[in-house]
Structure 1
Amino acid sequence: MRFSRSNPHSALPLYKEHSKSTSTFRSSKQLLIIGLFYIILILFIINLFNFLLFHKPESSSITNLDYSFILPNPSHSDLKDLIIVAGHAIYLSNRLDEVEQDDNWILESFQKGGHVKTFLNHIRKGLELAQQNTKALLVFSGGQTRPAAGPMSEAQSYYAIAQKLDLFSAEKDSHLVIDRMTTEEYARDSYENLLFSICRFTEVTGHHPQSITVIGFEFKRKRFLDLHRAAIKFPLD
């Protein structure tokens, strides 16, 4: 490419060379800014460390709140022992004379033809033990395990049967236990039968049970004693 004065646009642009002193000044300014940044960062980290190490938060006033308006007072603070009847099925009828008929229960296939009588024996045994021990709370445990039963739980159906049986036995001068019966309606297995019933006992009485009796199938004895009881660290007799 040729260059001439008559065609100045064809010439390459000329760049003015900066002096050495100007470059040195800018470098010093950049170093100063970087240095100040690191000093501020170090001071911030030191202050943050001191705050986390020595700062003690003041006790929150929430610990002094009165929760009595939320949690009801225990209704049976005098009770000491827990009797658990673990549910296994749901009874749908309201008639006591039909309680032994499989058609009125929602049963698994393996429960038909004999299990209903066992369920009733569990309920009767729970009533019997509660009648003998006036310091015991009888808890029927079992959740909403059958979709066909809707919101009805195992515990509710057992409670309804027990209520009718207890009223019937009252005619024979037996000690009523209705006032010491309640339900636990969230358990889905035997471990939850035990754990949730203890929670329900504490909710009703305001303290943990001194002794626990579980009424259920014999083949589950080892499971309750050696596994579930040990898991929650409840002492043996």
Structure 2
Amino acid sequence: MEPPNHLIIVCGHAIWAGGPTKGEDESEWIIEDWKKGETPTYTAHIKAGVKALSEDGQAVLILSGGPTVSSTPISEGRSYANLAASNDYWDLLSPTPSSASTATTPTLSPSPPHPLSPIPLHPRVVVEERALDSYQNILFSITQFWRSTSHWPGHLTIISHQFKRRRLTEAHCTAVAFPLDRVKFVGINPPGVIPKI
């Protein structure tokens, strides 16, 4: 069995606090006033990460973001993982691999139960909870991948706002010496952001 070699990073931008609409109602999110109306975009980022994970059996999805508000101990990354698990990964992922399927599916060390994750996470979903900016989303996710797999990633998929593409790829990936020809970027902008031509 090949070790995981593909790191999918979803950069956190807000905190989902939980609730019955599973992220659809903006009142379930802890966001700044200037981010109102953007929560469907954050959900779209998470879904895009889960979809990319479902398409590559050698991938690991890391939901990245630290604790950015004082009103809750939950981090952006942990809240994104909770949202994905609460939505049953939007039926994009197979159930947790059984011991019979581990010959083709890489396994990670099981994550210990976490008091802020009421639903167990899929074994190829990892939370990075230290990043407080986009550079740290990249750097800390790469080191978290190594901690989780004992290997460095061979390629990256980064999911964030389209308008952050150059910063995340050309600036941050270059700064950590990750080859740009092994980086894929999935950009999903919030409503009202007009892409540059």
TM-score of the pair, normalised by structure 1: 0.62
* CA separation of 1:77 and 1:164: change in aligned 2, threshold 3 A: farther
Match of 2:54 among 131, 134, 147: 131
In the alignment, the residues of structure 1 paired with residue 23 and residue 126 of structure 2 have an alpha-carbon distance, to the nearest angstrom, of 20
- The aligned length equals 156
In the alignment, structure 1 residue 159 sits paired with structure 2 residue 81:
yes
Specify whether residues 230 and 132 from structure 1 end up closer, same or farther in structure 2 by C-alpha distance, changes over 3 A only: same
Q: After the TM superposition, which parts of structure 1 deviate over 6 Å for at least 4 consecutive aligned residues?
A: none
More strand by share: 2
**1:227 partnered with 2:151:** no
1:117 CA drift (Å): 0.3
The correspondence of residues 43-122 of structure 1 with structure 2, limited to 5 A, is: 78-95=3-20, 97-112=21-36, 114-122=37-45
- Residues 138, 181 of structure 1: 8 Å contact kept: yes
Give the Å deviation of 1:98: 4.5
**CA RMSD after TM alignment:** 1.8
- Classify 1:93/1:83 alpha carbon distance in 2 versus 1 (closer, same or farther; 3 Å): same
Task: Return closer, same or farther for 1:168/1:98 CA change in 2, 3 Å cut-off.
Answer: closer
1:225 is displaced (CA, Å) by 1.4
Identity, in percent, stands at 38
* 1-structure distance, mates of 2:45, 2:176: 24
CA distance in 2, matches of 1:83, 1:224: 13
Is there any run of 5+ residues in structure 1 with no aligned partner, and where?
A: 1-75
The residue matched to 1:186 in structure 2 has which SS? coil
Amino acid paired to 2:164: K
Please give the alpha-carbon distance, in whole angstroms, between the structure 2 residues aligned to 1:189 and 1:231: 14
Q: Distance in 1 between matches of 2:19 and 2:91?
A: 17
Is the 8 Å Cα contact of residues 77 and 205 (structure 1) preserved in structure 2?
no
Kindly provide the CA deviation profile for residues 119-164 of structure 1, in whole angstroms up to 9, marking residues without a partner as x: 0000100010000001000000000001112x11001110001112
Q: Which has the higher contact order (CA 8 A, sep 6+)?
A: 2
Structure 2 equivalent of residue 216 of structure 1 = 160
Q: Which amino acid aligns with 1:175?
A: S
Structure with the higher helix share, 1 or 2:
1
3-state SS of paired residue (2:60): strand
Q: Distance in 2 between matches of 1:108 and 1:79?
A: 36
